[in-house]
Structure 1
C-alpha cells in the first residue's frame, strides 16, 4: 500500500470483522443511515474517516503492532479500530495490566465511550489512558486498499483490514450512522445484492467476493498475509464493444477486472 500523491483524498479505514459460522465464514456488516452523504442505505463494513486525534501524541505508545509503521499507515489502523468500536461495539484492545483482550463484561462498561469518541469529545489517547488499555493493532491484517476514482466529487483513500472478532463481543450497529446490522456469508450477501434486496456498492462488493474465496477465518487471514495488497484506483475506460466501463487491475485479485459504468453508477435500491 502506498501513500496517495494528493492531499485531496480523504483518509479512511474499515475492518472486515469475521467469524466462523455453521456454514462457513461470516462477516459483520452494517446498513448506512439514509442521511449519510456517502453510500447511504448501503450494506458496508464498519469504518470511517481518520480523525486528527488518531494521530495525537500519546497514541502510538498504546498500540500493539505499531512497530515499523509510518504515521500514515499507523493512523489508518487506529482509525479502523476506533470506528469499529463506535459503529459495532467491538473493541480490538487489550488490558494493559494483563495483556488480555477485553472481555464482554469489560466491553459493556466501556460502551458509554462510543458516542463521545464519535463526536470527538474525547480522543482515543485519553480513552486508552483512562481505561488502562492498548489497541490490538497486531490483530489487523491488511486486506485491500481502494482509492475513489478521480471522476467523483468526494474521494477517499481507504484501507481495508481483516480481523477475527473476539468470540464474546456482541457486534451491534450504533443506531446513528448505521441503522441495521447482520453477520452474513459472502455468498449470501452477493446473492441478495444481485436480487436487489441489498444495496452493496462496487468496492464493498469486490471485497465481499474476495473474502468469499476463503472457507473460514484462518484461511482468510493466511491468504491475506500471503499476498501483497495491490492499490486499486478504478479508471473509466471503454471495453472492446466501445461501452464505458470501470476497470481495476487484474493483479489486485478480484473476480472481475471491469464493470459496466452504468451498473456501478446505478446501484439497485433495496426492494420495499
Structure 2
C-alpha cells in the first residue's frame, strides 16, 4: 500500500539527495537505532504536542521535530529499577531482544529528560516525580548530557524507578536509503506528568512550542514551519485518534515490528512525491 504525504511536498534537500543517490547508485548507510518521544498534554477537549526546532547547521537543522536521539551503549548496559512492562515484554512488542528493547526504552526516557526536562520516573511503580526544574536537577541533567553521569546512576542516586509504562509504542521509521545519516527510530507517545513542565534546555534546539497537531500540520502545509515527513505522518496519525483516550487505545494495537520505509518517487510529468509503503 502506498500512503501519500498528506499534501506535503518533500523538502528540497530530500529531493536533491534522492536524485543524486538514485542517479549514482549509491550504497545506503547503516542506520543507527534511535528513540523519539511525542510528548503530549491535554488542551481542553483536545491535546497538544511538544516540538523543538533543531538548530541550523545540525543534521535536520531548521525543522521541527520531537525530542529524541540515538541509543547509547550505556542504555543497554544500565542496571536500574524498572516499573511497567519488563524488557522481555518490550522486546516482544518491538521485535527486539530484551537487552535491545531495554536500550530503546531507556533512550526514550533519557532523551526526553535531556531535551525537554521531563522525567518519566518516580519513587515507586505508582508515582512520578514532580517539578524537576530547580538548579539541583538542572545540574544533574547537564551532567547527563555531558556524559559525566549515566541515566541509571542518576535514577539510582535519587532512588527513583523508571516508569516504562508511561511510554506508549507508536511507530518505527527508518530514514530513506538515500540520506547520508540514517536512523532506525522507534516513536513513543508519553503524556506530560502532572507537576512537571517542559523547558527549553536542549543545546540542539533554538525554539520550542506546544501546539495542537492539527494546527502544526496546517502551519507546515502553509509553509510557516518546516517538518520532515516522519513528523508530519506521526502528527497526522495522533491527530486522527481524536483525543487522548482514543490515542491510548490506538497505541495498544500499533505495529512496530514492520518499519515504515519511506522513499521519494519521481512520476513522469509530475512533481516528486514522498511515499511510504
Equivalent residue, structure 2, for 1:205: 232
Q: 2:47 aligns with which of 25, 32, 35?
A: 25
Provide structure 2 residue ranges, at least 5 long, that are not aligned to the other structure: 1-27, 92-97
Distance 1:217 1:113 in 2: 31
Contact in 2 for aligned 1:64/1:134 (Cα 8 Å):
no
Q: How many residues align?
A: 240
Equivalent residue, structure 2, for 1:248: 276
Equivalent residue, structure 1, for 2:192: 165
Provide structure 1 residue ranges, at least 5 long, that are not aligned to the other structure: 1-5, 250-272
1:100 aligns with 2:127: yes
How big is the alpha-carbon RMSD for the aligned residues of Structure 1 and Structure 2? 2.1
Distance 1:136 1:95 in 2: 10
Q: 1:56 aligns with which of 74, 77, 98?
A: 77
Equivalent residue, structure 2, for 1:269: none
- The 3 A distance-change label for structure 1 pair 187 and 118 is same
CA deviations on 1:239-264 (whole Å, 9 max, x unpaired) are 47576443212xxxxxxxxxxxxxxx
Where 2:219 maps in the other structure, the secondary structure is: helix
Contact in 2 for aligned 1:25/1:214 (Cα 8 Å):
no
- The 3 A distance-change label for structure 1 pair 202 and 112 is same
Equivalent residue, structure 2, for 1:225: 252
CA deviations on 1:96-129 (whole Å, 9 max, x unpaired) are 4x7421012x553423211111121111121111
1:235 aligns with 2:256: no
TM-score, normalised to structure 2, is 0.80
Equivalent residue, structure 2, for 1:139: 166
- Comparing both chains, which one has the higher relative contact order based on Cα–Cα distances under 8 Å and sequence gaps of 6 or more? 2
1:40 aligns with 2:67: no
CA displacement at 1:7 relative to structure 2 = 8.8
- The 3 A distance-change label for structure 1 pair 197 and 243 is closer
Range with greater deviation from structure 2 (209-218 or 231-240): 231-240
1:82 aligns with 2:103: no
Distance 2:121 2:87 in 1: 16
